[in-house]
Amino acid sequence: MTVRLWYILNGVRGEETAYGCTPYIYGSKYGITCDGEAAKKSLTDATKKALSGLGFSGDIFMGLYDNLEYRQKNKAEFDLKNASESAEDAARLRQEFDDKLSRVANTLAHGVTVNEINGVFSPIAREIDVHIKAAQANGDTQHERYLSGRLRRLITIKDGRIKELNKAEEKA
Burial 45-55, CB ≥16 within 10 A → b, else e: bbbbbbbeeee
90 shares its domain with 119: yes
Per-residue pLDDT tens, the chain, 172 aa: give them.
888 989 888 899 989 888 888 888 888 898 998 888 888 988 888 888 888 888 887 777 777 778 788 888 888 877 777 766 666 777 777 888 889 999 999 999 999 999 999 999 999 999 999 889 988 988 888 889 999 999 999 999 999 999 999 998 888 7
* Claim to verify: residue 80 and residue 35 sit in the same structural domain: no
In total, how many domains does the chain have? 2
Give the structural domain span for 105. 65-171
Instruction: Answer yes or no: do 51 and 134 share one domain.
Output: no
DSSP class per residue in 53-84: HTTTTHHHHTTGGG-HHHHHHHHHHHHHHHHT
Instruction: Tell if the pTM clears 0.75, that is, is over it.
Output: no
52 and 100 part of one domain:
no
pLDDT at residue number 86: 67
Give the single-character DSSP code of 85.
T
My answer on whether 25 and 49 are in the same domain is yes
